[in-house]
Amino acid sequence: MASQQQLSVIKGAKVLMVGAGGIGCELLKTLALSGFQDIHIIDMDTIEVSNLNRQFLFRKSHVGLSKAKVARDAVLRFRPQVSITSYHANVKNQEFNVDFLKQFSVVLNGLDNLDARRHVNRLCLAADVPLVESGTTGFLGQVTVHVKGKTECYECQPKPAPKTYPVCTITSTPSKFVHCIVWAKDLLFTKLFGDKNQENDLNVRSSDPASSSDHAEDIFQLNKDETIEHYGRRVFDHVFGYNIEVALSNEDTWKNRNKPRPIYSRDILPEEPTKQNGNTDKNCATDDQSLISAMTSLGIKNPQEIWSLMENSRIFIEAIKLFFTKREKDVGNLAFDKDDQLAVEFVTAAANIRAESFGIPMHSLFESKGIAGNIVHAVATTNAIIAGLIVIEAIKVLQNDANNYRMTYCLEHPSRKMLLMPVEPFEPNKSCYVCSETPLSLEINTHHAKLRDFVEKIVKAKLGMNFPLIMHGAALLYEVGDDLDEDMVANYTANLEKVLSELPSPVVSGTILSVEDLQQELSCSINIKHRDEFDEEKEPDGMVLSGWQQTPLEKDDCNKTLGNGESTSKTLPSAPDADKYDDSDMVASGRKRKLDEAVNISGEANSSKKPEVLDDDDDDLVMLDDGDNGDPAINKKKRLQ
Amino acid sequence: MDGEELTEQETQLYDRQIRVWGADAQRRLSKAHILVCGMKGAVAEFCKNIVLAGIGSLTLVDNRLVTEEALSANFLIPPDESVFGGKSVAELCCDSLKDFNPMVRVSVIKGEPSSFDEEFLKTFDVIVVSCCSLAEKKSVNEKCRKLPKRVSFYTVDCRDSCGEIFVDLQDYKYAKKKLEDTVECQLSYPSFEDAISVPWKVHPRKVSKLFYALRVIERFEEAEGRSPGETSVSDLPGVLKLKKEICESQLLNEAHIPNALVERLVTNPTEFPPVCAIIGGILGQEVIKAVSGKGDPLKNFFYFDAVDGKGTIEDISSQS
The reply to whether A192 and A132 lie within a common domain is no
Across A1-92, where does the E strand assignment appear? 14-18, 38-42, 83-87
Domain C-terminal end among A546, A575, A608: A546
Question: Does B282 contact A378 at a Cβ distance shorter than 8 Å?
Answer: no
Closest chain B residue to the Cα of A602, Cα to Cα: B179
Cβ of A388 and B161 within 8 Å? Answer: no
B310/A418 touch (CB, cutoff 8 Å), yes or no: yes
Residues A128 and A267 in one domain: no
- The answer to whether residues B270 and A2 touch, using CB atoms and an 8 Å cutoff, is no
The string over A271-303, giving b where at least 16 C-beta atoms fall within 10 Å of a residue's C-beta and e elsewhere, is eeebeeeeebeebeeeeeeeebbbbbbbebebb
Query: Residue A477: which CATH number?
Result: 3.10.290.20
What is the topology classification, in CATH, of domain B8-192+271-313? Answer: Rossmann fold (3.40.50)
CA B309 to chain CA centroid, nearest Å:
19
Domain membership of residue A420 (yes or no) is: no
pLDDT score for A31: 97
Q: Which residues on chain A are in Cβ contact (under 8 Å) with B274?
A: 30, 34, 387-389, 391-392
CA distance linking residue A297 with residue A319, whole number of Å: 9
**Domain membership flag for residue A182:** yes
Note whether A487 and A538 are same-domain residues. yes
Among the listed ranges A219-223, A291-295, A421-425, B122-126, which one has the minimum average pLDDT value? A219-223
Give the gap in angstroms from C-alpha A464 to the nearest C-alpha of chain B.
30
More confident residue, A602 or A102: A102
Yes or no, beta carbons of A380 and B52 under 8 Å apart: yes
- Write out chain B residues lying below 8 Å of A32, CB-based: 75
In a domain, A632, yes or no: no
Work out the angle at residue A105's Cα, subtended by the Cα atoms of residues A100 and A111, and round it to the nearest 5 degrees: 70
Question: At B7, which amino acid appears?
Answer: T
Integer Cα distance of A601 and A413 in angstroms: 7
| Mutation for A interface: B8, B15, B46, B256, most A CBs within 10 A | B15
Q: Higher model confidence: residue B22 or residue A279?
A: B22
Residue B61's pLDDT band, with cuts at 50, 70 and 90, is: very high
**CA-CA distance, A26 to A55, in Å (whole number)?**
8
Cβ contact (<8 Å) for A385 and B278? Answer: yes
Nearest to B306 among A32, A383, A392 (CB): A392
Q: Which of A271-285, A348-362, A526-540 has the highest mean pLDDT?
A: A348-362
Task: Summarize the annotated binding site of A for Zn(2+) as residue ranges.
Answer: 153, 156, 432, 435
Report the pLDDT averaged over residues B66-74: 81
Distance between CA atoms of A235 and A242, rounded to whole angstroms?
A: 10
Contacts of B82 (CB under 8 A, 6+ apart): none
Of the pLDDT bands very low, low, confident and very high (cuts 50, 70, 90), residue B94 is very high
pLDDT value for B211: 97
Query: Phi then psi for A292, rounded to 5 degrees?
Result: -80, 115
Neighbours of B192 (CB within 10 A): 26
Q: B121 pLDDT band (50/70/90 cuts)? A: very high
B33 touches B56 (CB < 8 A): yes
The whole-number pLDDT of residue A425 equals 93
Binding site residue list of A: 19-24, 43, 51-54, 67, 112-117, 153, 156, 432, 435
Q: Give me the mean pLDDT over the A151-167 stretch.
A: 81
A305 CA: distance to closest CA in chain B (Å) = 11
Q: How far apart (Å, rounded) are the C-alpha atoms in residues B187 and B175? A: 11
A381 contacts B206? CB cut-off 8 A: no
Q: Domain check: are A186 and A284 in the same one?
A: yes
ipTM of the complex: 0.96
pLDDT reading at A523 higher than 70: yes
Residue A90 lies in a domain: yes
Residues of A that are catalytic: 168
CB < 8 Å to B320, chain A: none
Q: Is A623 left (phi over 0), alpha (psi -120 to 50) or beta?
A: beta
Q: What is the dihedral of CA B199, B204, B206, B209, to 10 degrees?
A: -40
Number of neighbours of residue A61 by Cβ within 10 angstroms? 9
Q: Describe the crossing of helices B259-267 and B236-250 by its angle, rounded to 10 degrees.
A: 130
Is A409 inside any structural domain? Answer: no
Range of the domain at A532: 440-546
DSSP helix/strand/coil, B310: strand
The predicted pLDDT at position B38 comes to 94
Q: Give the per-residue pLDDT at A561.
A: 61
Based on the domain organization, do A383 and A354 belong to the same domain?
no
Does residue A18 lie in a domain region?
yes
Q: Count chain A–chain B contacts defined by CB atoms under 8 A.
A: 172
The domain segmentation of chain B, as residue ranges, is 8-192+271-313, 194-267
pLDDT tens, position by position, A490-516: 889 999 999 999 999 899 988 889 899
Are A377 and B19 in contact (CB < 8 Å)? Answer: yes
pLDDT at A576: 32
- Contact residues, chain B, for A49 at CB < 8 Å: 12-13
Question: How many structural domains compose chain A?
Answer: 3
Contact B298 A414 (CB under 8 A): yes
Residue A18 sits in a domain whose CATH number is: 3.40.50.720
C-alpha angle A125-A131-A134 in degrees, rounded to nearest 5: 130
Residue A538 has a pLDDT of 77
Structural contact between residues A635 and A427, judged by C-beta atoms closer than 8 angstroms: yes
- Which residues of A are less than 8 Å from B52 in CB distance? 53-54, 56, 380
Q: What angle do the packed helices A380-398 and B41-53 form, to 10 degrees?
A: 140
Look up residue A189 and give its DSSP letter. I
What pLDDT is stored for residue A161 in this prediction?
A: 65
Residue numbers in the known binding site of A for ATP are 19-24, 43, 51-54, 67, 112-117
State the average pLDDT for chain A.
81
Do residues A94 and A181 both lie within one domain?
A: no
The larger pLDDT score, comparing residue A382 to residue B68, is at: A382
B chain contacts of residue A30, beta-carbon cutoff 8 Å:
273-274, 277
The type of residue at B283 is: L
Q: Tell me if A511 is assigned to some domain.
A: yes
Do you find a cis peptide bond into B300, omega within 30 degrees of 0? yes
What Å distances lie between residue A585 and A23, A403, A566, A635, CA to CA? 16, 27, 14, 19
A365 located within any domain: no
User: Closest partner residue to A53 among B14, B78, B272, by Cβ?
Assistant: B14
Residue A312 and residue A281 in one domain? yes
Alpha helices in A258-340 (DSSP H): 265-268, 294-298, 309-326
For residues A73 and A95, what is the distance between their CA atoms, to the nearest angstrom? 23
CATH of the domain at A264: 1.10.10.520
**CB neighbour list of residue A250: distance below 8 Å, 6 or more residues apart:** A172, A207
A131/A265 same-domain check: no
| pLDDT band of A568, cuts 50, 70, 90 | very low
List the one residue out of B220, B45, B173, B143 whose CA is nearest residue A33. Answer: B45
